Every structure is written in C-alpha cells, then in structure tokens.
Amino acid sequence: MKISVLGSTGTMGGLVVKAALQDGLTVENRVSSKDNIENLFKRTDVVVDFSCPIATESMLKYIVANKVSIPTVIGTTGLSKVHFDLMNECAKTTPIFHSPSMSFLVAILRIAIHAFAKLLNEDFDVEIMDVHHKLKKDSPSGTALMLGKTIANARNRKFADVANFVRYGIVEQRRRGEIGFAVQRCSNVIGTHEISFMGEYENLKLKHEAHSKETFSKEAIHIAKWLMTQRCGFYTMNDFTRDLITPALKSIYRELFTNTKIEN
C-alpha cells in the first residue's frame, strides 16, 4: 500500500511517515510548503494530511478540480465552513475523512459526554478546558470545539447560541445552558481536554490527556487503511468507530439494566 503525506516536514506529518514505515507501507510522496500539491496524488493509494488550513484548502480544491478518487484522511485543525463545503464536494468523487482528533479515547470521551449531557440537564454548567503546547496556532482546539458541539447537540441547542469563548472585563452573568471554553497554551503539553459538569451540590469531570502525538499518527494509519475500503462520501470518527462501539454500548445497557447482580 502506497501512502502520501501532506505536511511531511511537520511534527505530525513526520510521525505519520514513521508510523507508515513501521507498518510496512511505502511512503510514495512527501509534500510540504515547497512542493506542488499535485505531487501528492501521483502513484498513491491513499493521502494523509496534517498541515495547515491553507494547505488543506489547496489540496481540497485540487481534488474537486481534478475529480480525484484517492481516499484522503484529514487531521488538520482550524478549518472553517469553506473547508467543510469543499470536503462535501470532494466526497462526490472520493472517500474523504476528517477528525480534529484521531484518538480512539477521544472518540470514547465524546460518547460519554453525549450521554452525560443527556442525563444531566442544564442545571449543570458545562465548562471545557483545552491545554496545548505553546506552538499551537488555532484556539480553542478542534477537539474542544467538537466536544462542545457534541454537548450542544445532545441538549438540542445551537452551538453558536450557547458557546462562550470570551470572558474579559465586565461580562454578563453566566447564561443557563452556556458552554464555557478556557484555553491554555504553554510548554510542550501534547493535548489535554477536561469537561466539567458543575452542579449545585456535586460536580462530574472527564479528562483526556495525550502522552504522545504517536497516538494520533498511528490511528491515522488505521483510518487510512479503513478508508480505502469505503465508498465515496464524507466520513468522521463516528463512522470509523461505529462497528466497534455499537455492540459494546448495547451490552453495557443490557448488563447495567437487566443484570441486577452487577450492582453488588
């Protein structure tokens, strides 16, 4: 299997190259800011992109203009509606995947916070803390935004109506249902997200900490292999994890609510 990497000179791109070679894949093309984007699609089976929004945009425009049919995995964050519209256009000719976090544990965390948001009403104030290294440019992180959107969806609220990114000076009191974001950019922290559900008498917190960026690069290779088996379309982590997680969720429900012995 031949893979091409956009952003290959970067931290994540370099780790994807490493993970691909460790997995016995051939790294056919390595593309960065000095290269022509069309080189990415030469003689390759799959493309993985960890670059920056400008580079991702030119890659997506190239796919649309040339009706490229090579499966493409996108890990770049800081993307906007323009990029998602382009991805949907690309999805007409090729399988295309995007997630702001390739981590399997973040996928599990997302399921958990969706459940908590359903179980706990808006009496519980939600706050999301995003901590990353000082070189990270986009803020809040793509993962923090995805987690916030998950909670807003679970509560049937529009994310734009409930997200609060700014608290500075004299601000209004916290609105019911608000989802607050706090961001730290410091040192070499790989990526930590903590979601708090704060009630009047008790709190519930969930935290994910990445110890190594290799968690993202190795999972990107698994996703690339999986994407090659899919039809044209736009895919997310939900699609990648669905077959694995659905049976587990069904048995969790069965064991918790029909097998009373477990309680003791």
Ligand X SMILES: NC(=O)c1ccc[n+]([C@@H]2O[C@H](COP(=O)([O-])OP(=O)(O)OC[C@H]3O[C@@H](n4cnc5c(N)ncnc54)[C@H](OP(=O)(O)O)[C@@H]3O)[C@@H](O)[C@H]2O)c1
Q: Which residues bind ligand X (CB under 6 A)?
A: 7-13, 32-34, 50-52, 54-55, 75-78, 99-102, 213, 216
Can you read off the two tokens belonging to residue 213?
A: 């960026």
Which is closer to ligand X, CB of 8 or CB of 94? 8
Nearest distance from C-beta of residue 146 to ligand X, angstroms: 10
Closest of 92, 17, 99, 49 to residue 2, by C-alpha: 17
Least separation in angstroms between residue 226's CB and ligand X is: 15
* Residue of 61, 114, 133, 136 marked active site: 136
- Cα separation, 262 vs 165, whole angstroms: 42
The minimum distance between CB 24 and ligand X, in angstroms, equals 22
Q: Is 132 a catalytic residue?
A: yes
- Residue closest to ligand X, measured at CB: 10
* Interaxial angle between packed helices 214-227 and 11-22, expressed in degrees from 0 to 180 and rounded to the nearest 10: 60
Distance set, CA 178 to CA 125, 161, 197 (Å): 7, 8, 11
d(CA 140, CA 135): 13
Least Å from the CB of residue 252 to ligand X: 26
Rounded to a whole number of angstroms, the minimum distance from the CB of residue 57 to ligand X is: 9
Closer residue to ligand X, CB minimum distance, 29 or 101: 101
- Cβ proximity to ligand X: between 33 and 121 the closer is 33
Which residue's CB is nearer to ligand X, number 102 or number 221?
102
C-beta closer to ligand X: residue 76 or 150: 76
* Nearest residue to 138 via CA among 58, 54, 195, 220: 54
| Residue 70 · residue 47 · CB < 8 Å | yes
Q: What is the dihedral of CA 144, 150, 151, 153, to 10 degrees?
A: 140
In order of 79, 96, 100, 234, the CA distances from 89 in angstroms are 15, 10, 19, 9
Write the single-letter amino acid at 148.
G
Is 211 a residue of the active site? no
**Distance between CA 5 and CA 13 in Å, rounded?**
6
Which of 83, 132, 208, 218 is catalytic? The answer is 132
Tell me the closest approach of the beta carbon of residue 20 to ligand X, in angstroms. 15
Comparison of 149 and 155: residue with beta carbon closer to ligand X: 149
Q: Is 27 helix (H, G, I), strand (E, B) or coil?
A: strand
Residues noted as catalytic: 132, 136
